[in-house]
Each structure stands twice: as structure tokens, then as C-alpha cells.
């Protein structure tokens, strides 16, 4: 009985924290709605071994981040440790800020490289912009010593309305980033948009190995520059 009581007490701070995040960073409704399959995946490398004294970088994004994170970790091996969290959730999703807060509390980061957007093509721009600003402020609050790098969403291999919506979402995210003090930019959209769609894309959203190599190289460049500051 005593063990069960102590276990219950241990849960209380977690619940209180989650409630506090919801109260301080509310999203009134799920304006985007759910995708048919929602997903979330994270890895934190070198948490306890000899490399733990190096700077730590948190990469936040979607399946594009999932595609380049391994290359980023390899390029930064011996220079910085990498944690990444990739998911399908839009910044307006009701649980997004709770999930983001969880990963922000996992370690002390020197750089947070942040992206959200490709899963937001059904999200109203005004709601997206508001939630994006709140997410950046949450990063600032939870990781006050970290350098924040905002990354634009990559372009699509498509010519329909979704392609224009990604550009509009990037514009809204850029305005949100500019409203938060000391946020750097990594314009992955500008890097990828001139590339040959047949040579560098494998479907509407995702890249060949060569494409991810280019993205990873620019991510590393921006992360190293942020670490230097």
C-alpha cells in the first residue's frame, strides 16, 4: 500500500506539469483535424557515454527530419550529440506542446533546430502562425541558454495547391520566428526548391539519399554556427 501511495505521489507532479503547459500554452481546438495515421518517434544519442560532455542539439521536425537526422548525427560525431523528435503533429494539434515540452525537458540543449509545417497543409494560416509563435516561446522558456534555429519546410514534388500552401506556411512561420528574439534561420526550402524533382525526390514529400545529404549538410552548417555563438 505504501509503495502504491508513493507511486501515486510521483505521478502528481507530471500531471500538474502537463496541466500547466495546457493552461499557459492553450490551443482551443484541433483546427487541422487528425491525419489517418498520426505518429511520433525520437532518439537521443550519447546520453550517458563519454561523449556526454559535448554540446547537445535537438532536431525537431517531421519525416524530412527523420530522413536527415542520421546523417546530421554522423557529421556531428565527436563535435556534438544529437537528439531528434520527428512527428506528424501540427503545431496546432492539442497535444503538440505537451510532447514538445517533454523532449525539451529530456536534456539541456545548446541548439534547438525547429521545424513544423508539411503536415499543416489543412491548417488555417492564422491558427498556424499563432501556434508556431507559442511553440518557439515554449522552447525559449524551457531552454533559455539554447540557440534556436528555425528551419523552413521543404518544397513538394507537386504543382497543386499544396505546393503554394507550403510556401505560405513558411512565410507565416518566418514571421513568427522574427517576432521571437534571437532566432536564427535555416532556409531548407530555398536550398531544395531549385533541385531537379526527378533526381532528388522519391515521392511528393521525400528525398533520395543525395537529397537528404544536401539537407543534412546545411543543417550541420547552421548548427555548428549556432554552437559557435
At residue 30, the pLDDT reads 79
User: Given phi > 0 = left and psi -120 to 50 = alpha, else beta, which region is 69?
Assistant: alpha
Residue 128 belongs to domain with CATH number? 3.40.50.1110
Listed in sequence order, the residues at least 6 apart from 23 whose beta carbon sits closer than 8 Å to its beta carbon are none
Q: Average pLDDT of 188-194?
A: 98
Q: Is pLDDT of 221 > 80?
A: yes
Alpha helical stretches, state H, the chain: 2-24, 63-75, 96-104, 125-142, 161-178, 188-192, 197-200, 209-228
Per cent of the chain over pLDDT 90 is 77
Half-sphere exposure of 192 (CA within 13 A, CB side): 33
β-pair type (147-151, 183-186): parallel
User: Rounded distance, CA 118 to CA 60, Å?
Assistant: 13
Has residue 12 been placed in a domain? no
Q: What is the mean pLDDT of residues 15-27?
A: 49
User: Nearest-CA neighbor of 138 among 14, 18, 24?
Assistant: 24
> pLDDT band for position 101 (50/70/90)?
very high
Total domains present in the chain: 1
**Residue 169 to residues 1, 30, 126: CA-CA distances in angstroms?**
53, 17, 10
What pLDDT is attached to residue 23?
Answer: 52
- In 3-state terms the chain splits into helix, strand, coil percentages (rounded to 5) of 50, 15, 35
Indicate whether 72 belongs to any domain: yes
Higher pLDDT, 219 or 2: 219
What's the confidence (pLDDT) of residue 26? Answer: 55
Cell, residue 199 = 533526381
Count CB neighbours of 167 within 10 A. 15
pLDDT > 70? residue 125: yes
* Position 103 pLDDT exceeds 80: yes
Range of the domain at 103: 40-228
Contact 15, 7 (CB under 8 A): no
Residues 33-86: pLDDT tens digits?
Answer: 686 889 999 999 998 888 888 999 999 999 999 999 999 999 999 999 999 999
Q: What is the pLDDT of residue 25?
A: 54
- Residue 165, in any domain of the structure: yes
In a domain, 160, yes or no: yes
Q: Which is it for strands 40-44 and 81-87: parallel, antiparallel or unpaired?
A: antiparallel
Exposure class string for 110-148: b at 16+ Cβ within 10 A, else e? bbbbbbbbbbbbebeeebbbbbbbbbbbbbbebbeebbb
- Whether 20 has a pLDDT exceeding 50, the answer reads yes
pLDDT level of residue 28 (50, 70, 90 thresholds)? low
Indicate whether 95 belongs to any domain: yes
Is residue 14 domain-resident? no
C-alpha cell at 172: 507565416
Confidence of residue 8 (pLDDT cuts 50, 70, 90): very low
Within a domain: 18 = no
pLDDT tens-place string over residues 130-187: 999 999 999 999 999 999 999 999 999 998 888 999 999 999 999 999 999 999 999 9
pLDDT at 19 over 80: no
Amino acid at each position: 500500500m505504501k509503495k502504491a501511495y508513493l507511486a501515486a505521489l510521483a505521478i502528481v507532479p507530471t500531471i500538474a506539469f502537463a496541466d500547466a503547459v495546457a493552461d499557459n500554452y492553450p490551443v482551443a481546438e484541433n483546427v487541422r483535424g487528425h491525419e489517418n495515421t498520426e505518429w511520433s518517434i525520437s532518439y537521443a544519442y550519447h546520453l550517458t557515454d563519454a561523449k556526454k560532455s559535448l554540446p547537445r542539439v535537438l532536431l525537431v521536425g517531421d519525416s524530412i527530419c527523420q530522413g536527415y537526422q542520421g546523417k546530421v548525427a554522423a557529421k556531428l560525431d565527436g563535435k556534438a550529440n544529437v537528439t531528434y523528435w520527428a512527428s506528424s503533429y501540427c503545431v496546432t494539434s492539442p497535444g503538440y506542446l505537451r510532447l514538445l515540452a517533454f523532449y525539451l525537458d529530456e536534456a539541456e540543449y545548446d541548439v534547438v533546430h525547429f521545424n513544423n509545417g508539411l503536415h499543416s497543409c489543412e491548417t488555417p494560416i492564422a491558427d498556424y502562425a499563432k501556434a508556431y509563435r507559442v511553440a518557439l516561446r515554449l522552447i525559449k522558456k524551457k531552454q533559455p541558454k539554447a540557440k534556436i534555429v528555425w528551419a523552413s519546410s521543404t518544397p513538394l514534388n507537386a504543382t497543386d495547391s499544396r505546393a503554394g500552401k507550403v510556401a505560405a506556411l513558411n512565410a507565416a512561420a518566418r514571421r513568427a520566428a522574427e517576432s521571437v528574439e534571437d532566432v536564427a534561420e535555416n532556409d531548407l526550402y530555398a536550398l531544395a526548391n531549385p533541385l531537379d524533382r526527378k533526381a532528388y525526390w522519391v515521392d511528393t514529400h521525400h528525398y533520395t539519399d543525395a537529397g537528404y545529404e544536401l539537407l543534412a549538410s546545411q543543417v550541420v552548417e547552421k548548427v555548428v554556427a549556432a554552437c559557435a555563438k
